Amino acid sequence: MKHWTIEQVAWDRFDPAKVEPEVIPLVKAAAMVERNGDDYALYLKSVFKDDPDFQQAADNWAVEEVQHGDALGKWATLADPSFDYPAAFAKYREGFKIDVKADASIRGSRTGELIARCMVETGTSSYYTALGEASEEPVLKEICRLIAADEYRHFKLFYDHMKRYLERENLSFPKRLRVALGRIGETEDDELAFAFHCSNDPPGLAYDHDRCLAGYMGRAMGFYRFRHIERGMGMIFKAIGLEPRGRMADIAAKGAWRLLCWRRDRYRQALAQQAVANSESASLARAA
C-alpha cells in the first residue's frame, strides 16, 4: 500500500523561478534509477523465491520506487519541458540490465542481500533529505520529503527481514561489514553514471563513465551537510549490528564526511575541466 500518490502532490505550486538549474540533471538521473525498481523487485523475488512474505513486501516496495521515478520524472519535465522521461527511461532499461532470474543473491547470502538493500535505502533516504532541504522550489521540496520518508520505511522493512535471516544464516560480522562497504563502493559504478547519460546527454554523445559520474556526483555531493552523513552512519551501523549512536559511529561519520568533501571537490574539478573543454570545442566550431 502506497503512503501517498502522485495526484496528492501540489503540482500547481511549481515555481520555475525557484528552480536551481544544477538540480535538474540530478532529478532526471534519479528518476531513471528509481523507476527501475520494478526490475530490481523481479531479481529480489527470484532470490527469495520460497519466501512469500518477503515476495509480497518486494512487490509493495517496487510500487513505491516506481512512483518515486514517476514523481521525479514529472517534476523534471515541468522544470525542463524538452525532457522526454519515457524515452530516457527506455534507453536506460535497454542499457542497464539486472539479472531478474538470479537463483541466489549476488551478495552471497540472503542476509547479505538485505544488508545491501539497507545501504541503498540509507543512501536514498539521506540524499532526498539533503536535496529537499537545499531546494527552494516548493514542489521538489514536497516530493523529496515524501520520498525520503518512504526510503526510511524501506530501510526498516529490509532491516526487519535481515534480522530474520541473520538468525538463520548467522552471517559473521566481517562478512556483514564487507557486504555493506562493497555496496557503498558501488555507488560509483554504472547505475547512476549511466542514468545521468541517458537522461542528460544529447543524442549521439557516447556514454563515458567518468564524465557522467563527475556530472552526477559533482552536483549531488554539494547538497550534503554533516548532519545527513551523521544520520546515515547511524543507519549503516544499525544494519551491520553496531551501536548506531556510540563513539565509533561518531568517528566513522566524521571520517566519512571528510572523504565526501574530498571526493566532492575532485568531482567538481572534473566538472570544471569538462566545462572548459566544452567551451573550447564550441569556440573552435564557431571559428571553423
What is the smallest separation between the CB atom of 174 and Fe ion, expressed in angstroms?
27
Other beta carbons less than 10 A from residue 114's beta carbon: 28
**Could you give the CA distance from residue 205 to residue 165 in angstroms, rounded to a whole number?**
45
**Could you give the CA distance from residue 21 to residue 24 in angstroms, rounded to a whole number?**
6
What is the smallest separation between the CB atom of 117 and Fe ion, expressed in angstroms?
8
Q: Which three cell numbers stand for residue 199?
A: 537522461
Smaller CB distance to Fe ion: residue 96 or 257? 96
What is the smallest separation between the CB atom of 27 and Fe ion, expressed in angstroms?
13
Q: Which three cell numbers stand for residue 195?
A: 542514468
What is the smallest separation between the CB atom of 150 and Fe ion, expressed in angstroms?
6
Smaller CB distance to Fe ion: residue 25 or 201? 25
Tell me the backbone φ, ψ of residue 217, rounded to 5 degrees.
-65, -40
Distances (CA, A) of 75 to 12, 26, 142, 221, 228: 11, 11, 11, 21, 24
Helix (H, G, I), strand (E, B) or coil at 202: coil
Report the candidate in 24, 121, 125 with the shortest Cα–Cα distance to residue 74: 24
Smaller CB distance to Fe ion: residue 68 or 176? 68
**Which residues contact Fe ion by CB under 5 A?**
34, 65, 68, 121, 151, 154
**Could you give the CA distance from residue 270 to residue 267 in angstroms, rounded to a whole number?**
5
Smaller CB distance to Fe ion: residue 65 or 142? 65
Residues 6+ apart with CB under 8 A from 153: 3
Smaller CB distance to Fe ion: residue 65 or 137? 65
What is the smallest separation between the CB atom of 128 and Fe ion, expressed in angstroms?
8
Smaller CB distance to Fe ion: residue 34 or 230? 34
What is the smallest separation between the CB atom of 217 and Fe ion, expressed in angstroms?
18
Q: Which three cell numbers stand for residue 132?
A: 529537499
Smaller CB distance to Fe ion: residue 89 or 257? 89
**Could you give the CA distance from residue 282 to residue 288 in angstroms, rounded to a whole number?**
10
Other beta carbons less than 10 A from residue 58's beta carbon: 24
What is the smallest separation between the CB atom of 38 and Fe ion, expressed in angstroms?
12
